[in-house]
Structure 1
Amino acid sequence: MNGFIDGLGGGFGGRKRDRLVEDRLPRRLIVVSETGSPPEGGRGNPLSSLLRTAGDVFKKLGAQDDDSKSSVVRMAAAISTDTVSAASAFAAASTIASHTRSFTKSASLTDEEEAQLLEELLLAKEVRTPEALESFFPKYDLARIVKAARVLDGRGRASALTTLANFAVLKPDYRRNILLADHGSITESISRILVGIEAAWSGGAYLPACEIEGIVSGTHLLGSLAITRGEVGTEWRRRLAQNKEVRRVIRKFANGQNESAARAARRALATLGVNEWKPKVAGQTGLRILSIDGGGTRALLTFEMLKHIKKLMGKDIHEMFDVICGTSTGAIIAASIGIRRKSVEECEKLYRELIGKVFCKGPMATPKMVLTRAYYDSKILESVLQRECGKGVFIDSTAEEGMPKVCVVSSKLGTSDVTCHTFRNYTYPVGSESRFAGTPDAQLWEALRASSAAPTFFTEKLLNGTLHADGAIVANNPTAVAIHEAQSIFPGIPIELVVSMGNGLAEPKFVDLWKEGSKDKQLGWYDILDSYIYAAVQTEDVHHMLVELLPPEKYFRFNPKTRCAGIDEVRPEKLVEMVDDANRYIEASGERFRRLSEILKPRGTRHFWNQISYSIGMEVRYVQNLFDPVFREEEVATES
């Protein structure tokens, strides 16, 4: 069975994310010389490769001055029969060499030292697991690998960047060490390498495989280092995010034709908080936000409403919204339709299988709760989530083009209070922060497990030394969280639409009956369960607040009344009742759904000029940002 959310690999749409960075690089190209055999070497930069091939051909032409620039140009002209193109190719190769050649190689790196570095790189590239990485560094020094990226050329430099990028994936805690190793040289190394290769690429140069590898691995490493935890990582990210030349180069890679480089660049932009909003349809004038409540098995109500919206619009949900946020059950739905980009029907099918396995009541449930404070087996939930999510990481999903911003809410349990925590696939622009703590590099299954750890139903989840429980404790209706996050991600962009999906407004008599019937299984945890039940079915306080703040043409809350109050209801006849309740609500709310569809549809030429105006404004902002040192992005808000 395909999972809710597969890993990054070649995309969240298919392959697993259990491969390292080097496995995602494009296939190496073999440059064949005039004699029909590959050129020797492996350490040289593109210029030296050009000279070697030039020498072979030039000897056939009867000339020996293969070190002369003019000779190389004449030789290239003889091959291409185009002197102008040959000169351009030589200039591009020279640009790569001048920008990316080692900082100190000529002054301090001997042939013996270079050979030692290359030997260590060969051993480092064999490290494929966190355990192997732990055993590697007592024998070898991380600073040596960082130094290799600084002083080597060509394939050696590319191998060093790939190795470091893999280390950052295998052990996120090592990112800080990479930043500090070799006197912090990795910052200048990455910047200089990427800018140099881009300069050559702009000149129309053919890039050897090692330079493509340098782009992919260097950009991926930059993205990983940008989300390093702690003050060192925060400061490094701030400096890179404010480096206009680096941002320009990464943007260019993200829009380039090489898909491997584009994926790494899109991820790097996301980690730096470079969030550029683009309308999803003609006439869209601002952000479109989707929020999904928690509610256990009552998520069937949301599935029916989302299917109705899809039917009205003729497109999948992820194609309509810029920001998608969910709590608990809503978190699983948000990640499935947002990050995995599944259809509502696929998501519902998988979710029905999930609840059938997780909410299975056995004879040992009550005794088990005495020991673990969990009525259901948390290991079953974890195994299902692990199987469905693979090793996917939130921020890695941004490698996909057009990926919506997705966050899921959990409750962080402190010693004296409970606070809201978000797991998300984005970071914020420099100068814009959220009031909620968050994690962009969490594994998907762990975040969903944390967000759905309903008190007394499942045990809490420990992540990075912090205890997490169901997000419903702090925000079962996460609409306000979603709005705040959207404004933090895209400061200055207006909100066009907020759609809030509820998972059932239970009638009081059904809540009372359920609470009465639940007493036997609470075993001393009744107060906790009582407050959780209240949070699960009383989500309208947030709704009433938003009604006062947002105009009706921008805010749509859909929350059917249901006869089923239980969040762990799995009896077939009760599940059918939920579907019936949802369909009756949809029919009664037909006019509101119609008005929503009118907003979501592409609009005509009157709104087309608004879109053109916005696009021009964004271009002006970009140009100003490149050339005006006083101009500050966070102080300018361009609205349609």
Structure 2
Amino acid sequence: MEHDNQSEPKVFKVLSIDGGGIKGLYSAQILKHFEERFNCCISDYFDLLCGTSTGGLIALALSLKIPATEICKFYDEQGPKIFTKFRSNIFLGKRLNNGTIKQLVNGGKFTDNNLRAALTDIFGKHKIADSNNLLCIPSYNITEARPFIFKYDHPEGQLNRDNKAFYVDVALATSAAPTYFPMAQIEYYDNKQFIDGGVWGNNPTLVGYLEALQYFVGKEKKFDKLKILSISSLSLTGGKPTGLKRNRSFLDWKDELFETSFTGQSFFTHFFMSKIAGLNDLDVDYVRIPSSDISSSQEELVQLDVATPDALDLIRGKGNDMGDIWRKKPEIEEFFKQEKLYKIK
């Protein structure tokens, strides 16, 4: 789209939210700060919402104009019911909690009954057609062995696939972490089975970037400029000492196996975005809010599925601290100067 010198470029804004289980409370707290600082509804200021796993739950909630305060309350109240505590036992000569034993031999650590009930409470019978924003919610289609992105059916892509899907089903599909929750099976998609989008896109920024370039931003498209705000989950940042045991079984790795994969993927996506934004002719502003630093003594509380009072207090506090820092930054204010321009309804 061409503009004369007097015309302001049309800006397309993307919000991307990482996966991370109960640590989604960290991202939600940051968003709560932004809603308070700018006296706004997040949905009104971003054209496209992207979220994987717990980030997908947040993106879906925001797209229904559910306040970030309510999303934080969801994690505080429902988190301990979804991620229940386990007693420990001796198994194969090791002291393990019963949840880890279930991961090894008994069909997964948790059922999805409490998760489904909690999602039904917040989403009800809403379908993707009810969204107030464009959506990209990554999952992985086990039945067809390929990544799958749930989208709002926009006319620019001539899409006609996902609008009749229930929010609850989409939320289960993006967050069905292997060995933690059962695979999601969705009747609307001919009973195909889905698992957590974090297996390939824990940081969905690239998903949003591609969606924006393919359909909305650039030459002969509706928008001229792209702005992306990407919010990290709380992740372990300290690394490990040398000299660790080299031959490690699943019992040795346990939850660290998944955390390492998710963190690595998120790191590369940020690295790619920080480089590519300055290497093409398209006008792209990219902002990434990082994880807060985690001390070695805090690591056991910063896990995908630890929702004890101490863990929730820590995650909430880290989110509050980071939100208080970033709400004052001019680059964040830029996202909230003008409401979104792409209108769903």
Output the CA distance in 1 between the equivalents of 2:33 and 2:104: 43
Output the CA distance in 2 between the equivalents of 1:438 and 1:557: 31
1:444 match: 167
User: What secondary structure, in the 3-state scheme, does the structure 1 residue paired with 2:176 have?
Assistant: coil
User: What secondary structure, in the 3-state scheme, does the structure 2 residue paired with 1:456 have?
Assistant: coil
Output the CA distance in 2 between the equivalents of 1:442 and 1:466: 13
Q: Does the aligned pair in 2 maintain the 1:393–1:442 contact within 8 Å?
A: yes
Alignment CA distance shift 1:301-1:465 (3 Å): same
User: What secondary structure, in the 3-state scheme, does the structure 2 residue paired with 1:544 have?
Assistant: helix
1:411 match: 140
1:133 match: none
Q: 2:15 aligns with which of 290, 314, 320?
A: 290
1:559 match: 290
- Equivalence map 1:289-368=2 (5 Å): 289-338=14-63, 340-363=64-87, 365-366=99-100, 368=102
Q: Which runs of 5+ in 1 are unaligned?
A: 1-281, 604-613, 615-640
Pair 1:384-2:118 in alignment: yes
Output the CA distance in 1 between the equivalents of 2:325 and 2:14: 24
Alignment CA distance shift 1:386-1:581 (3 Å): closer
Alignment CA distance shift 1:371-1:379 (3 Å): farther
Output the CA distance in 1 between the equivalents of 2:168 and 2:185: 13
**Count of residues in correspondence between the two structures:** 304
User: What secondary structure, in the 3-state scheme, does the structure 1 residue paired with 2:307 have?
Assistant: coil
Output the CA distance in 1 between the equivalents of 2:322 and 2:107: 36
User: What secondary structure, in the 3-state scheme, does the structure 2 residue paired with 1:508 have?
Assistant: coil
Output the CA distance in 1 between the equivalents of 2:108 and 2:13: 37
- Equivalence map 1:491-570=2 (5 Å): 492=221, 493-509=223-239, 531-538=257-264, 539-551=266-278, 554-563=285-294, 564=299, 565-570=302-307
- Equivalence map 1:470-481=2 (5 Å): 470-481=196-207
Output the CA distance in 2 between the equivalents of 1:545 and 1:366: 34
Residue 374 (structure 1) shift: 1.1
Q: 1:469 aligns with which of 195, 211, 218?
A: 195
| Aligned partner letter, 2:109 | Y
Larger Rg: 1
1:22 match: none
Output the CA distance in 2 between the equivalents of 1:360 and 1:311: 31
- Equivalence map 1:214-253=2 (5 Å): none
2:127 match: 393
Could you give the per-residue CA deviations for residues 440-474 of structure 1, whole angstroms, max 9, x where no partner exists? 32111111001000111111112324221001001
Could you give the per-residue CA deviations for residues 311-332 of structure 1, whole angstroms, max 9, x where no partner exists? 3322111111111010000011
Q: Does the aligned pair in 2 maintain the 1:312–1:597 contact within 8 Å?
A: no
Q: Does the aligned pair in 1 maintain the 2:9–2:225 contact within 8 Å?
A: no
Could you give the per-residue CA deviations for residues 530-581 of structure 1, whole angstroms, max 9, x where no partner exists? 5422232231101111111225971100012342441112122232222333
Could you give the per-residue CA deviations for residues 151-175 of structure 1, whole angstroms, max 9, x where no partner exists? xxxxxxxxxxxxxxxxxxxxxxxxx
Pair 1:458-2:195 in alignment: no
1:9 match: none
1:600 match: 336
| Aligned partner letter, 2:43 | H
Output the CA distance in 2 between the equivalents of 1:440 and 1:531: 35
| Aligned partner letter, 2:137 | V
Pair 1:484-2:210 in alignment: yes
Structure number with higher relative contact order (C-alpha < 8 Å, ≥ 6 residues apart): 2
Alignment CA distance shift 1:332-1:446 (3 Å): same
2:4 match: none
Could you give the per-residue CA deviations for residues 223-253 of structure 1, whole angstroms, max 9, x where no partner exists? xxxxxxxxxxxxxxxxxxxxxxxxxxxxxxx
User: What secondary structure, in the 3-state scheme, does the structure 2 residue paired with 1:554 have?
Assistant: strand
| Aligned partner letter, 2:196 | D
Instruction: Give 1 or 2: higher strand fraction.
Output: 2
| Aligned partner letter, 2:72 | E
Q: Which runs of 5+ in 2 are unaligned?
A: 1-6, 88-97
- Equivalence map 1:420-435=2 (5 Å): 420-429=147-156, 432=157
- Equivalence map 1:576-615=2 (5 Å): 576-586=313-323, 589=326, 593-602=329-338
1:147 match: none
User: What secondary structure, in the 3-state scheme, does the structure 2 residue paired with 1:457 have?
Assistant: coil
Residue 380 (structure 1) shift: 2.0
Residue 336 (structure 1) shift: 0.5
Q: Does the aligned pair in 2 maintain the 1:428–1:488 contact within 8 Å?
A: no
TM-score of the pair, normalised by structure 1: 0.43
Output the CA distance in 1 between the equivalents of 2:323 and 2:229: 15
User: What secondary structure, in the 3-state scheme, does the structure 2 residue paired with 1:506 have?
Assistant: coil
Alignment CA distance shift 1:320-1:392 (3 Å): same
User: What secondary structure, in the 3-state scheme, does the structure 1 residue paired with 2:50 have?
Assistant: strand
- Equivalence map 1:38-437=2 (5 Å): 285-338=10-63, 340-363=64-87, 365-366=99-100, 368-370=102-104, 372-395=106-129, 397=130, 403-414=132-143, 417=145, 419-429=146-156, 432=157
Could you give the per-residue CA deviations for residues 39-60 of structure 1, whole angstroms, max 9, x where no partner exists? xxxxxxxxxxxxxxxxxxxxxx
2:309 match: 572
Alignment CA distance shift 1:599-1:424 (3 Å): closer
Residue 284 (structure 1) shift: 6.9
Alignment CA distance shift 1:574-1:388 (3 Å): closer
Q: Does the aligned pair in 1 maintain the 2:153–2:161 contact within 8 Å?
A: no
Alignment CA distance shift 1:384-1:585 (3 Å): closer
Residue 386 (structure 1) shift: 2.9
Output the CA distance in 2 between the equivalents of 1:510 and 1:382: 36
Could you give the per-residue CA deviations for residues 285-309 of structure 1, whole angstroms, max 9, x where no partner exists? 2211101000111112212221222
Residue 349 (structure 1) shift: 0.7
User: Runs of 4+ in structure 1 displaced over 6 angstroms?
Assistant: none
- Which has the higher mean CA deviation after the structures are superposed, 563-572 or 484-493? 484-493
Output the CA distance in 2 between the equivalents of 1:511 and 1:384: 39
| Aligned partner letter, 1:503 | S
Alignment CA distance shift 1:343-1:388 (3 Å): closer
Residue 358 (structure 1) shift: 0.4
Instruction: Give 1 or 2: higher helix fraction.
Output: 1
